[in-house]
Amino acid sequence: MAPMGIRLSPLGMAVFCLLGLGVLYHLYSGFLAGRFAFFMLSEPAAGGPDPPRGSAPAGAVDLRELLAVSVLAAVRGGEEVKRVREGNVLNAKAKGKTREGAEEQLTSGDLLSNRRMFHLLKAAFPAVQINSEERVDTADQETVSWDRSIPEDIKQKIQPTEVPAESVTVWIDPLDATQEYTEDLRQYVTTMVCVAVNGKPVIGVIHKPFSAYTAWAMVDGGSNVKARSSYNEKTPRIIVSRSHAGKVEQVARQTFGNQTVIIPAGGAGYKVLALLDVAEKNQEEADVYIHVTYIKKWDICAGNAVLRALGGHMTTLTGEEISYTGSDGNEGGLIASINMNHKALIEKLPDLEKTSHK
């Protein structure tokens, strides 16, 4: 006997297909609804709040933000410098000798300031090259964050300016005037940050930890400091390193006259501030800053940027611009001035260039 088959009527087939389509519709419509909701939550609504700062295109750096974090880094580093000095826990040791044979000092203040400054800048701008005077221990990953806030004075004076990250080099001096720091000559001590774009210094920050004074400036932007209004170009007051005063004095007085004043001082940051209008009781005033030997770029980059922003000049002793790329040293000495005939000053001091290579 042949097996009996099951036969469905056309009406049954139609009902079965409709049920299948209903199930598929329910599942697919739920998926679409979920995707639509995700899209709506992910996209900012028209007229809604702006995206947070720091959302510059990949590979771009906002110089206004970099200025803000540079100021913060200099201040945070200065806090470490001050804490170590006031606690008298310097742990000073020699780290080597200069080309002139003098011992270079290294203290806990240098290291702790460097640690704080480097990690703050690196966390905020990981794509930017950072050069520092002190070695950074890559195993020491201190977490130092920036809340991306920009001080009001910077907001008011500086417009957002984006540049490619690969064009930026940051120079850190975590403790300028370490020798004077060990001698407790606190007025000379600074922490500094400089930002160079394609080798040209465009942002400079000089902070004095023991008086909480900070000078900053950005080329073609603005500054919180200004140049002094009066200078004596015929018999200038020349500020020099304490160890170089004898080298400069004889030539300078032969050139400008016996009334020329030589001011021995510590720290490149302090010497640049001497050319500016600084409301500091322990800040001396000078017309020209001269350095006659090799000097590291992290010592001078911030001061160079500040002077450029205010219309001043810092060059080698032969008048060449100093590039802040490549090696970390400047071989040609330096002469810095503001609101003076810089070229004329260079022409008056021809013999100092030879001294810079000794």
Residue linked to tokens 């400091």: 225
* Percent share of the chain, pLDDT over 70: 77
Average of per-residue pLDDT across 39-59 = 42
- The residue extents of the domains of the chain are 60-224, 227-348
Pairing label, strands 237-241, 261-265:
parallel
End-to-end alpha carbon distance in the chain: 120
If DSSP states are collapsed to H, E and C, what string results for 262-282? Answer: EEEECCHHHHHHCCEECCCCC
User: Could you tell me the CA-to-CA distances from 18 to 27, 28, 31, 89, 262 in Å, in that order?
Assistant: 14, 15, 20, 85, 100
Contact call for residues 234 and 257 (beta carbons, < 8 A): yes
| Model confidence, pTM | 0.81
Contact call for residues 225 and 277 (beta carbons, < 8 A): yes
Query: Annotation-wise, does 153 bind a ligand?
Result: no
Average of per-residue pLDDT across 176-181 = 96
pLDDT of residue 221: 96
Query: Annotation-wise, does 353 bind a ligand?
Result: no
pLDDT of residue 100: 58
Residue 31 CB burial class (10 angstroms; 0-12, 13-18, ≥19): exposed
Mean pLDDT (the chain, rounded): 84
pLDDT of residue 160: 96
**Choosing from 62, 107, 110, 287, which is the catalytic residue?**
110
* Among 38-47, 228-237, 264-273, 284-293, the least confident range: 38-47
Per CATH, the number for 227-348 is 3.40.190.80
Query: Annotation-wise, does 147 bind a ligand?
Result: no
Amino acid at 55: S
pLDDT of residue 247: 79
DSSP, collapsed to helix, strand or coil, labels residue 91 as coil
User: Does residue 178 have an active-site annotation?
Assistant: yes
Query: Annotation-wise, does 175 bind a ligand?
Result: yes
Q: What is the pLDDT of residues 294-306, one digit of tens each?
A: 999 999 999 999 9
Q: What is the pLDDT of residues 75-114, one digit of tens each?
A: 999 999 999 999 999 999 887 656 555 678 899 999 999 9
31 has pLDDT over 50: no
User: Does residue 110 have an active-site annotation?
Assistant: yes
**Choosing from 178, 190, 214, 293, which is the catalytic residue?**
178
Query: Annotation-wise, does 176 bind a ligand?
Result: yes
| Residue 206 CB partners (closer than 8 Å, separation 6+) | 74, 190, 192, 214, 215, 216, 269, 272, 273, 302, 303, 306
**Nearest C-alpha neighbor of 290 from the set 340, 248, 236, 342:** 248
Domain 60-224 class in CATH:
alpha beta
